Chain A
Amino acid sequence: MDFKLTEEQQMLQDTAARLVRDAYPFEQREKFSESELGFSAEFWGQLGELGLTAVPFSEDIGGFGGGGVETMLVMTELGRGLTLEPYLQSVIYGGGLLNQLGGDAQKEDLLPQVAAGSLQLAVAFDEPQSHYNLHDVQAKAEAVDGGYRLSGRKAVVIGGHSAGKIIVSARTSGDSRDETGISLFLIDPNAQGVSRRVYPTIDGRKGCDLFLDNVQVGADALLGEIGNALPAMRYQQGRAIAAQCADALGSMDEACKLTLDYLKTRKQFGVPIGKFQVLQHRMVDMQTELEQATSMAILAATFADGEDNDERSRIIAAAKYICARAARKVAEEAIQLHGGIGMTWEYNLAHHAKRLVMIAHQFGDDDHHLKAYAKLMQVA
């Protein structure tokens, strides 16, 4: 066993950390968040220039050939800075789907652009009724002359407002909630029949609901086999979850540091409040949660690109469960230990808290993953 980073991994981490530190002071982050784009085009460009958007892709398309650990390192730093760029959506999730399912032409055309950061992808799998279940798909795709016609609604597509292409799931056969009959399509958000309701999210990002009204796409828009997308959706969501755990890890680490610092400096009753044992123990509990989450984020990262089997699924579910619970606990405790200050918009801790609680609302909450784990749990 060896938990040490290789020299290359260390460099990657340093690069990401430096970049985030320089480009993402909190006041800047607020400005990016409030801008129409919702993030920094410049920072996104820098991620591309430094090759960070290429981390998970193979070397022959200009990538870094990185796996779960490499993306974890980048995501942790992005989380630390509460960055807003659609790295997870585009590079890891969308890029992963394209890489796994794309035909030669699709890959040749699009993957290098995604790796370079010049094309952003978004992933639209949730629907208003689906409640994190990827197989609960009501959007429909009918085969028509030369392609498909899509109708339906996709819910809360993070980064969908700025993506150049959106990967949507739609039913080509079967009933809602059947595990087969689901297909993926790469659609152009500006195509006829596509409309978006764009909104900010409570954790400072932007997303949209996507309305598909008889959207006509060519046969080349189909991603992967017809009717058989679910295994890949689940697999790639697992990678996205591993990355999301790392994102939360960076943010949790920051929230713990800010809180510890506060306990040492805030004085009440003539002493720093960190002198009160009840607060010491709660800080220790936060740190313990952070340790647990770190372990699970590492475990998930090492399995993220592994074989698609029950063990991997189980570990991903466990990681999401542990990290989401830890994230909420850290968020709530951090606010509480800060007192009123922790509740103010002006203070970055409050925004970490929001990001940390919101981890549960993307890719499934702790209940969802607890049930998933229980199903896969080995009983003997």
Chain B
Amino acid sequence: MNVNYTAEELAFRDEVRAFLKSELPADIAAKVKLGKHMSKQDHERWQQILVKRGWYAPGWPVELGGTTWGPVEKHIFDEECSAFGAPRTVPFGVNMVAPVIIKFGTQQQIDHYLPRILSGEDWWCQGYSEPGAGSDLASLKTRAVRDGDHYVVNGQKTWTTLGQHANMIFCLVRTDPEAQQQRGISFLLIDMKSPGISVRPIITLDGDHEVNEVFFDNVRVPVENLVGEENQGWTCAKYLLTHERTGLAGIGSSKAVLAHLKRIAMKEVCDGKPMLEDPLFRAQVAEVEMQLMAIEMSTLRILAAAKEGGVPGAESSILKVKGTEIRQAITHLLRKVIGPYALPFLEEEMQLGYDGELLHADYSASLAGDYFNMRKLSIFGGSNEIQKNIVSKMILEL
């Protein structure tokens, strides 16, 4: 047994580091490190740099613009990106819809959509959830009725992350209302500019606009935008969810945020000493660091098993639950470090490019909001309760 990276893996890590050092724009990294919100342009700029290097879509087949990386390389890449302050890739196009199109789509769909994802021409969002269908996704009601060579779509999606930037949405729609729940669902690609679509912002408790409601009123969608077979969309949905969940443990970003926590806990003082030297506080930081160490090992174990040919199955649910709990624990400690300065709600200081006078330190304005925003981690991508149901059923067979 050898728990260290191999020589090749280490060489790969150095390559990634060298790339990030020279190519990651400093202004973008600064925003990420201070928890400021990314603009659409920031994402696009970074995307183009990655695309140029051939590293934007590591999971795709090489001939389509992907890499030959295995799970461990992907993990190393994610971790280094987080450590350097690279923005998280918006997953909906490259990591969600693309694998589904590659696996279930027609050649035409592959040829049309994949290059547009790489070029940034298409910004995708995910239309799964509905007001009545959250954890119980299969109870979704949005209807698609065949009319000649179109589907006519009616219904509502909700919690659509970054839908305000998107021009394309992939949706689960009900094509056969008679069929049992999971049957009769189809996977449709819909142009957001189609007549009959409207998008309404949902403001989250931290005051941010990140999610939206999307309404469909007699929206006509060409039949060629169906992925896979009609009524077999659940297969696509499930395939996508396993892809979605593996990345949700967020170990790279937890490590980066923990490093940030330590940095600011050396700056903030309590009774004349850095917070990090307060034994009680220090013990809490140590506790979360050990948890993170363990989840990283668990991730590597699970990934290594996947590398041998297995696919991380229900194990990824364990990673998601624990990984998100750790991330939430770190944001809790971050908020505590700044004491009463968690209270001010300084929208202007959270804006991109704010260069006015700071109330406290440059890192403080966003910390409380972040803590509240990160409550989402245990809700979306299949809530942590649902993940535990999966583990108990699939692994423990309870």
CA A345 to CA B204, docked complex, whole Å: 5
| A72 part of interface (Cβ distance < 8 Å) | no
| B203 part of interface (Cβ distance < 8 Å) | yes
Q: Are B205 and A201 in contact (CB under 8 A)?
A: no
Residues in A with CB closer than 8 Å to B132 are: 267
Q: Are B344 and A132 in contact (CB under 8 A)?
A: no
0/1 string, B89-121, CB within 8 A of A gives 1: 000000000000000000000000000000000
How many residue pairs at the A-B interface have CB separations less than 8 Å? 140
25 A–B pairs (Cβ distance < 8 Å), ordered by A: A132-B340, A136-B271, A156-B340, A156-B343, A177-B271, A202-B369, A203-B343, A209-B359, A335-B375, A336-B375, A336-B379, A339-B134, A339-B135, A340-B129, A340-B376, A340-B379, A343-B204, A343-B205, A343-B375, A346-B203, A350-B372, A353-B372, A360-B336, A361-B339, A367-B284
0/1 string, A345-365, CB within 8 A of B gives 1: 110001101100110111001
Residues in A with CB closer than 8 Å to B182 are: none
Residues in B with CB closer than 8 Å to A207 are: 343-344
Min CB distance B363 to A, Å, is: 14
Most A CB atoms within 10 A — which of B268, B272, B360, B369?
B272
Q: Looking at chain B's contact residues, is the secondary structure mostly helix, strand, loop, or mixed?
A: mixed
B:227-242 near A, CB below 8 Å: none
Q: A340-B379, A344-B204, A351-B205 are in contact. Are A128 and B271 (CB under 8 A)?
A: no
State the B residues within 8 Å of A (CB): 129, 132-136, 139, 158-159, 202-207, 211, 268-272, 275, 278, 280-281, 284, 332, 335-336, 339-346, 359-360, 368-369, 371-372, 375-376, 378-380, 383-385, 388
Write the chain A residue with the least CB distance to B270.
A131
| A285 part of interface (Cβ distance < 8 Å) | no
Q: Are B359 and A199 in contact (CB under 8 A)?
A: yes
| A126 part of interface (Cβ distance < 8 Å) | yes
Beyond the given pairs A128-B341, A269-B139, 18 more chain A to chain B contacts, judged by CB atoms under 8 angstroms and listed by A's residue number, are: A131-B339, A132-B340, A199-B359, A200-B344, A201-B343, A201-B344, A209-B359, A268-B133, A268-B136, A278-B385, A336-B384, A344-B205, A346-B202, A346-B203, A357-B371, A358-B368, A365-B339, A367-B280
CA A361 to CA B344, docked complex, whole Å: 10
Q: Are B270 and A133 in contact (CB under 8 A)?
A: yes
| A18 part of interface (Cβ distance < 8 Å) | no
Q: Are A202 and B388 in contact (CB under 8 A)?
A: no
Q: A335-B375, A343-B376, A353-B372 are in contact. Are A177 and B272 (CB under 8 A)?
A: yes
Residues in B with CB closer than 8 Å to A346 are: 202-203
Q: Are A268 and B134 in contact (CB under 8 A)?
A: yes
Write the chain A residue with the least CB distance to B346.
A199
| A129 part of interface (Cβ distance < 8 Å) | yes
| A257 part of interface (Cβ distance < 8 Å) | no
Residues in A with CB closer than 8 Å to B340 are: 126, 131-132, 155-156, 361-362
Q: A155-B340, A339-B135, A361-B343 are in contact. Are A133 and B271 (CB under 8 A)?
A: yes
Write the chain A residue with the least CB distance to B367.
A202
Residues in A with CB closer than 8 Å to B385 are: 276, 278-279
